[in-house]
């Protein structure tokens, strides 16, 4: 297992692929870990060197007690890049990972060469609901919110079929440290990057869809598309989008996991 000292925590990461290829960082959603990207790895490694990591409070990364902030999560990412000697990367983040990407593009733009914001938003729709989830997890554990969270990860037919990737996601969710999950709930509760979107100059691909129960196009993806300066969006029906000319990263929306 590979860990980096990202003071004040240790961060678990996996760096894979040819060092001569462009570097892509994958950042997961709340309640999962770097393994959520396993289905995409064969295709991505044919084109990129890929860095995956477990966000603070998730997987094998340390999970200190207390509320986290999006700034803290962003600085964890910068410390990881610094520790690995990576000056600039393309960033692809889903949900929480997309919010971290927004923070990086605003506060450390020289570190992000291209940005994919998938199923994410500059703010959650109802911060009070995130606060309620934070308290529930601390009082009763992840099992108490598992059904709600899984319904946001997967559509009903897929949940009913319960294929291995769905079962694996539930196992990962329930195994997440309650303090870490709650800490990230606080970061989501308090983050509002709407006013800062106009400061994003990084080439940005926005992937969104109406079937996303948590962060659909209306009120989330459309805000990113409207206010980010250098952006392209995927069609709402999930069909492929052409990449930026000579872009550092290309995403095919039908292969991006729902969040």
**Tens-digit pLDDT string for the chain (259 aa):** 699 987 889 999 999 999 999 999 999 999 999 999 999 999 999 999 999 999 999 999 999 999 999 999 999 999 999 999 999 999 999 999 999 999 999 999 999 999 999 999 999 999 999 999 999 999 999 999 999 999 999 999 999 999 999 999 999 999 999 999 999 999 999 999 999 999 999 999 999 988 888 999 999 999 999 888 665 555 555 444 433 332 333 333 333 333 3
| Domains of the chain, earliest start first | 2-255 (3.40.50.1820)
- Which DSSP letter does residue 61 get? S
pTM confidence score: 0.89
For residue 118, say if its preceding peptide bond is cis, omega within 30 degrees of 0: no
Give the closest residue to 11 by CA, choosing from 67, 70, 59: 59
Q: Which residue has the tokens 């969040």?
A: 259
Q: How far apart are alpha carbons 188 and 168 in whole angstroms?
A: 24
3 state DSSP class of 119: coil
Q: How far apart are alpha carbons 114 and 116 in whole angstroms?
A: 7
Q: Determine which helix (DSSP H) or strand (DSSP E) holds 179, and give its type and residue range.
A: helix 178-190
User: What are the phi and psi torsion angles at 35 (to 5°)?
Assistant: -70, -15
Q: Which residue has the tokens 């999970």?
A: 63
């Amino acid at each position: 297992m590979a860990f980096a000292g990202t003071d004040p925590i240790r961060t678990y990461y996996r760096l894979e692929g040819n060092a001569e290829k462009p570097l892509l960082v994958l950042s997961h959603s709340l309640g999962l870990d770097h393994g959520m990207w396993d289905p995409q790895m064969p295709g991505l490694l044919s084109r990129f060197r890929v860095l995956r990591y477990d966000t603070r409070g998730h997987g094998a990364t340390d999970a200190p007690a207390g509320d986290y902030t999006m700034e803290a999560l962003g600085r964890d990412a910068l410390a990881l890049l610094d520790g690995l000697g990576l000056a600039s990367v393309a960033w692809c983040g889903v949900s929480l990972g997309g919010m971290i990407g927004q923070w990086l593009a605003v506060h450390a733009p020289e570190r992000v060469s291209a940005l994919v914001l998938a199923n994410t938003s500059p703010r959650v729709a109802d911060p009070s609901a995130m606060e309620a989830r934070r308290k529930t997890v601390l009082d009763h554990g992840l099992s108490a919110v598992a059904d709600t969270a899984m319904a946001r990860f997967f559509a009903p037919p897929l949940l009913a079929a319960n294929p291995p990737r769905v079962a694996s996601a539930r196992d990962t969710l329930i195994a997440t440290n309650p303090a870490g999950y709650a800490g990230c709930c606080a970061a989501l509760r308090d983050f509002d990057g709407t006013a800062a979107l106009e400061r994003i100059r990084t080439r940005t691909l926005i992937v969104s869809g109406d079937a996303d129960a948590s962060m659909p196009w209306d009120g989330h993806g459309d805000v990113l598309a409207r206010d980010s300066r250098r952006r392209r969006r995927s069609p709402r029906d999930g069909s492929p989008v052409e990449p930026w000319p000579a872009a550092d990263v290309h995403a095919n929306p039908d292969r991006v996991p729902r969040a």
